Structure formats: structure tokens, C-alpha cells
Amino acid sequence: MTKKLLAIFVICGLSFGISAQAALDIAGTYENDFMAYLKKDGSGGIGDLNRLRLKIDVRTSRDLSLHLEPRFYHVISSENIPITGVSDLDKMIFDKAYIKTHLSQLSLTYGKQRIAWGTGYIWNPTDIFNPYVLSFAVGQEDETNVEAVRSEISVGEASGIDAFILNDSSRSGVRAKTNIGLFDFSASYVDLSGSGFQWGVDFAGEFGIGIRGEAIVRYPYNSARYFQGILGCDYTFENGIYVNSEYFYNGLGNNSLYLGINNNLDEITKISGSTIINLDDQSFLIYPSYSRNVAENVDVSIESMVLGGQEGTEYNRSEFGGSKLGFVRVKYSF
Amino acid sequence: MRYKFVFWILILFSISYLGFSASGITGDEIINEVDKNMTFTSARMESKMLIHVGKQVRTKKMISYAQGKDKSFAKFTSPARDKGVKYLKIGDNMWMYLPSVDKIIKIAGHMLRQSMMGSDFSYEDALESNKLLEKYKVTLIGQDEKSYILELTAKVKKVTYYKRKIWVDKRTFIPTREELFAKSGKKLKVMTMGEVKRFGRRYYPTYMTIENLLRRDSKTELFTTKAQFDIRIPAGIFSQANLKK
């Protein structure tokens, strides 16, 4: 994949004309996550996850660029611990690897990339690749990326059409977006190949408070169609305290609610609290955190996750259901 | 003795009154002159922010563009943790681009009160380009040797600061100090401006400080390292497509 991309990039670069403007930019992050957990049966353990990520950008002109994002994750732990959103340990993989070109109003991206649709904070029914992400706990870099060809056509300042097809043709979709007044609106269609298709809409805007929503109707080929939707709102008070909430209906009779609050204690220190409650079985997840930018490019955070509810409910189902977890994360950006 | 005291009070009031009249300028005219300096048809700037929290200092650099009162665009170039984060404001709409997820996020009006990239500037402080006269009723409340002192009270609902007290330099018509208040009367922020330079027919302060009084030991300095006014801005800068470039 990466060799193929490099070859395409060189060919494109030569056609566009590699100029004196050609630039190489290497950045990245190293993150150490130390975690400890206590299970409901009284047993516990510790683990240490090391994450190294490079972000390499080669730009031959304003209109052609190559982006490579190799990463290597290594974990040392007392047993197999639950690390949400992390896979492919102990090997180098390319999380992203794509070339991008801009031709007037058209932008084309080919390779492994993030296709992020929707406006939800926790739940994104219109985003078929990352429909559920614990955004307050999981690094954004760890969201799922896909190998695809994507074209984005911009119309005016805030409207456009976005279309993609996966390399293996298993998914394809198109989304049109526009802005009316203080609202962004989008409508989308995704072909799930052999398993069905879905129509979706989303919006984000404000009536004094910020509001956002998403809805899809999915048509599986082998079962009845169903509806999923979210509705969220957020607000910042005069004293800087920010509150956020989101309601999710999963289309199968299950309702969930997210509530979050955060406040900057000073310009480099933030405290936050998040909870997700399954409104039907009353199981829950609570996630308080404290973070501080201790040096120019070094962030430290202390976080905790408590899972609770009746045995067998959503957040008390697996081996780690009902557990208490604590994390200390140190992240260095370079 | 009492009559003497009243006499002097009357004299002082008369002098103050004569002072404002003699200057022959109204609050609206002063703010109009301020707006002529501080708003522009278009601009490109390179800036450096120093954020002081107690003894700690953080440095951030950005490049920004503005056109008229409705359009602005800012891109952070350092430090590494913030590099590539971009903001776009068109009219009352604002979006932020996060490179890590390649996603454009709509920022609602209430979020304009939040700190921009960990500084004492809110998003609104940093990207505000509307003329003050359009949003505030202006009263000239005093003057000293160097400055006019103005009080601005909001005449529209959608403002972050209900009241502003501004000291305006009499020679350059540049604000040198500004105090920002909430509707409750609480003082929220204090800004100072200096290092005034001439750019063509306008004066512009290339150094600014802002203190958020709701936080302890917190101050942000903003240095404008390069400024170009009334220039031709490349097509497409103020678009969502440019956020992802």
C-alpha cells in the first residue's frame, strides 16, 4: 500500500512539477499510558502502554501532498487489559497513508485515511466507520481509518459534496452539506454493498445554546429497516464552565444518554467529568479527568473510569464490567 | 466652608464639561476613528502569543487573514501539539478544523467565550472584526492629557462583554487600555495595547496584553510580527475547503 502510494506520489509530483516549494515536515507524538484496574471480584492489575506516532508530510506544491502516519504501540501488562480503541500492538503499522491533490474546487484523496462524517460527540450514526467513540477518553488518532478513494467538491464557502468508495468496494457513500443561517446541514447516502444501504441527515447550529443531531434509516437486505438518531446540546456559561449532553436511540429499543462538564482551572489546567447511562438497563460509565500542559509540548492527565450497573447489563457485561480503572497519561508532541 | 466646597465642585464640573466641548469631538466620532484604525478591508498577519500562567510560559504562533468585518481565518503553526489547528469565521458562523481527525467542527456562539488555544483571549477576542459602533452605545465619560475615556454599553444582545471602558490615545486614535465587563458589572478582562506602528494611513498596535481576571496569575501577550493591510487575499482562503488544505 505504502510503496504503491509513494510510486503514485512520485509520478504525480513529476507531472505537477516538483518545485523549490517542495517541503518535508516530520512531526509526531510519544505517549505513555500507565493504568491500574480493580475488578469487581477484587482482583486487579497494572499495565503500561507506549505509543509512538510519526506524522510525515511531503508537499511538492500547494496542490499535491503525501501524508504518512506510521505508529508503533507496545504494552507491558500483568494480564490482558482492556485498552479501548487500541489494536495491532507490537508492530509498526501505517494508521494513515494517503496522497491528496487539489484541483480548483475538487480535492482528491487516495489511500488510508479518516472519513469523519456527522456532528455527534459520542455517537455518529451517519459515520459508518466510527459510529461510537468515547471521545472524552480515546485519543482521536485511534479512530478507525479506511483505505479509500475520496473526492470532495466545494461549492462556495461552506457547501460541498463529499463522496468515497473503499478500495475493496465494500462501502461507498456520498454526502452533501450546506450552511443556512447559523446551521450546517448534511444529507448522506451509504451503500453497504451486500448488506444493505442507509440514508442519513445531520445538523449542527445554535439557538443560544448549541444543538446538533443526526438520524439515519438503515435498510438491511436480510432484516427490517430501522432508525437511529442522536440529539445533543451544549453551552458555555459566563464563568467558562462548559456543559454538553447527547441522547442516542439505537433503533433496537435502546436509549442512552451522555452528560459532560468541563472547566479550565487556568489556561493550562482542565478538569472534566463525563458519564454515559444506558437509560433502559441503568448501567453506567463515569469518567472524571484532570489534565495539565506541564511544559510547552508535554501534557499529563490523570483519568479514571468506573463501570457499574446490574450484572449482565451493558456496562457490567464483560470480564471488566463493574471495574474501576485509573490512568496516568503523559503525551509529548514534537 | 460648605459653600466653598460646593463652589469648587461646580467649577470642576464646568471645567470637565468645557473640556469635552472644547475638544469638539463626540464619543461616536472617537470610536469611528478607532474603527478606522482597527478594522480593515483585508489583512494578513503573523503573530506570536506568550501565555503566562504563574511562572510558566507557553508560546504559540499563528498566521491569520481577515476580510471586511465578516471573514477571518487563522492557522496555528506552533507549538507541535497545536500545529495545523485552523479556525474559520464567516459572518456569525465559526468552524474549527482538527487535523488529527481530519474533521471540521462547528463552533456555536456560546463557545466564543471559551479560551482560544489556552490563551486569555476568547475566540471572540481573537477573531472579532465587527465595528464597535454597530454593537455599542458610546459615551465619552472623561479625558486626561493623553487619552479620551469612553464607556461602551451593548445595544445588541449577541455580545460577550456587556460594557467596555476604553482609553483612546488622542494622537493616534488607538485604544491603549480596555476594561471588559459582564452584564452583572463584574470586570472580566483587562487589555492593554502598545508598540503602535504606522501602516500606510493607519496606526495599528503590534503589542497587546490581556488578563483574564477570572483566573489567577494569568496573562497573554500578543506580538504582531508581520502585518499587511488592505491587500489582495488569495481566492478560497475563507472557505471550509481551505481548512482541510
Interface contact flag, A240 B106, Cβ < 8 Å: no
**CA–CA separation, A18 vs A3, rounded Å?**
19
Q: Provide the 10 A C-beta neighbour count for residue B118.
A: 21
Interface test with A, best of B85, B96, B110, B119 (most A CBs within 10 A): B110
Nearest to A267 among B111, B120, B244 (CB): B120
pLDDT at residue number B232 = 92
Residue with cell 478607532: B34
Residue A288, preceding bond cis, omega within 30 degrees? no
* Structure confidence by residue, pLDDT tens digits, B191-228: 999 999 988 888 889 999 999 888 778 899 999 999 99
pLDDT class of A14 with cuts at 50, 70, 90:
low
The residues in A 221-260 lying below 8 A from B, measured between CB atoms, are 234-236, 238-240, 242
Nearest to B106 among A116, A184, A240 (CB): A184
**CA–CA separation, B2 vs A50, rounded Å?**
80
Expressed in angstroms, the distance from the first to the final Cα of chain B is 76
pLDDT class of B10 with cuts at 50, 70, 90:
very low
Nearest to A140 among B80, B98, B220 (CB): B98
Q: What mean pLDDT is predicted for residues A142-165?
A: 93
pLDDT at residue number A133 = 86
pLDDT at residue number B104 = 92
CB-CB contact of A56 with A15 (8 Å): no
pLDDT at residue number B11 = 43
pLDDT at residue number B202 = 84
CA dihedral A65, A4, A94, B61 (to 10 degrees): -10
Interface contact flag, B106 A119, Cβ < 8 Å: yes
Secondary structure of B143-176 in the HEC alphabet? Answer: ECCCEEEEEEEECCCCCCCCEEEEEEECCCCCEE
pLDDT class of B18 with cuts at 50, 70, 90:
very low
**CA–CA separation, B196 vs B208, rounded Å?**
10
Q: Is the pLDDT of residue B4 over 80?
A: no
Counting Cα atoms < 13 Å in the Cβ hemisphere of A138 gives 19
Taking CA atoms, what residue in B is nearest to A185?
B106
CB-CB contact of B75 with B95 (8 Å): no
Report the share of chain B in percent with pLDDT over 70.
88
* Strand A196-207 with B103-107, pairing: unpaired
Of A15 and B86, the structure prediction assigns the larger pLDDT to B86
A207 is written with which cell numbers?
Answer: 439557538
The residues in B 134-173 lying below 8 A from A, measured between CB atoms, are none
> DSSP letter string over B173-201?
--EEEEEEE-TTS-EEEEEEEEEEEEETT
In 3D space, the residue among A83, A99, A84 whose CA is nearest the CA of residue A13 turns out to be A99
CB-CB contact of B230 with B200 (8 Å): yes
What ipTM was estimated for this complex?
Answer: 0.87
pLDDT at residue number B125 = 76
Nearest CA to CA, how far is B114 from chain A (Å)? 6
Q: Is the pLDDT of residue A303 over 90?
A: yes
**CA–CA separation, B187 vs B27, rounded Å?**
22
Tell whether B78 is within 8 A of chain A (Cβ).
no
| Number of inter-chain CB pairs under 8 A, A vs B | 120
Q: What mean pLDDT is predicted for residues B168-189?
A: 91
Tell whether B55 is within 8 A of chain A (Cβ).
no
Nearest CA to CA, how far is A294 from chain B (Å)? 9
CB-CB contact of B177 with B190 (8 Å): yes
Whole-number mean pLDDT of chain B?
Answer: 84
Residue with cell 445533543: A232
Q: Is the pLDDT of residue B5 over 50?
A: no
CB-CB contact of A285 with A303 (8 Å): no
Interface contact flag, B108 A27, Cβ < 8 Å: no
Q: What mean pLDDT is predicted for residues A70-93?
A: 76
* Structure confidence by residue, pLDDT tens digits, A124-137: 999 999 998 888 88
pLDDT at residue number A63 = 85
C-alpha angle with apex B126: B83 to A211, nearest 5 degrees?
85
All domains of chain B in start order, with CATH: 25-243 (2.50.20.10)
pLDDT class of B17 with cuts at 50, 70, 90:
very low
pLDDT at residue number A264 = 85
pLDDT at residue number A154 = 93
Q: Computed over its alpha carbons, how large is the radius of gyration of chain B?
A: 20
**CA–CA separation, B34 vs B48, rounded Å?**
23
CB-CB contact of B167 with B147 (8 Å): yes
Tell whether B187 is within 8 A of chain A (Cβ).
no
Whole-number mean pLDDT of chain A?
Answer: 88
- Tallying the residues shown for chain B, one arrives at 245
pLDDT class of A188 with cuts at 50, 70, 90:
very high
Tell whether B234 is within 8 A of chain A (Cβ).
no
pLDDT at residue number B46 = 95
pLDDT at residue number B1 = 46
Of A92 and B3, the structure prediction assigns the larger pLDDT to A92
pLDDT at residue number A216 = 97
Q: What backbone torsions phi and psi does residue B11 show, to the nearest 5 degrees?
A: -60, -45
Q: Is the pLDDT of residue B127 over 80?
A: no
- Residues in chain B with CB shorter than 8 Å from the CB of A208 are 109-110
Interface contact flag, A240 B115, Cβ < 8 Å: yes
CA dihedral A264, A300, A315, A258 (to 10 degrees): 20
B205 is written with which cell numbers?
Answer: 498596535
- Residues in chain B with CB shorter than 8 Å from the CB of A297 are 79-81
Q: Is the pLDDT of residue A166 over 80?
A: yes
- Residues in chain B with CB shorter than 8 Å from the CB of A205 are 106, 108
Q: What is the pTM of this model?
A: 0.84
pLDDT at residue number A1 = 62
Instruction: Say how far residue A259 (Cα) sits from the centre of its chain.
Output: 18
B11 is written with which cell numbers?
Answer: 467649577
Nearest to B90 among A102, A143, A157 (CB): A157
Interface contact flag, B90 A158, Cβ < 8 Å: yes
β-partners of residue A64 are A61, A101
- Residues in chain A with CB shorter than 8 Å from the CB of B238 are 157
pLDDT at residue number A319 = 66
In 3D space, the residue among A299, A297, A300 whose CA is nearest the CA of residue A334 turns out to be A297
Helical spans, DSSP H, in A142-242:
none
- In the three-class reduction of DSSP (H, G, I as helix; E, B as strand; rest coil), residue A39 is classed as coil
pLDDT at residue number B128 = 64
Nearest CA to CA, how far is A95 from chain B (Å)? 11
Q: In A156-208, at which residue ranges do the beta strands (DSSP E only) sit?
A: 159-166, 172-180, 183-191, 196-207
Interface contact flag, A184 B90, Cβ < 8 Å: no
CB-CB contact of B125 with B117 (8 Å): no
A26 is written with which cell numbers?
Answer: 516530520
* Structure confidence by residue, pLDDT tens digits, B75-116: 999 999 889 999 999 988 999 998 888 889 998 878 877 777
**CA–CA separation, A67 vs B17, rounded Å?**
66
- Residues in chain B with CB shorter than 8 Å from the CB of A240 are 113-115, 214
pLDDT at residue number A45 = 83
Residue with cell 506580538: B223
The residues in A 24-63 lying below 8 A from B, measured between CB atoms, are 27, 62
In 3D space, the residue among A234, A177, A201 whose CA is nearest the CA of residue B243 turns out to be A177
The residues in A 71-100 lying below 8 A from B, measured between CB atoms, are none
Interface test with B, best of A133, A155, A266, A269 (most B CBs within 10 A): A266
pLDDT class of B16 with cuts at 50, 70, 90:
very low
Nearest to A240 among B58, B108, B214 (CB): B214
Q: What mean pLDDT is predicted for residues A53-66?
A: 90
Q: Computed over its alpha carbons, how large is the radius of gyration of chain A?
A: 22
In 3D space, the residue among A143, A140, A164, A135 whose CA is nearest the CA of residue A152 turns out to be A164
Interface test with A, best of B52, B55, B83, B106 (most A CBs within 10 A): B106
Nearest CA to CA, how far is B87 from chain A (Å)? 13
In 3D space, the residue among B241, B232, B97, B233 whose CA is nearest the CA of residue A105 turns out to be B241
A289 is written with which cell numbers?
Answer: 479527568
Q: Is the pLDDT of residue B6 over 50?
A: no
C-alpha angle with apex B239: B237 to B240, nearest 5 degrees?
130
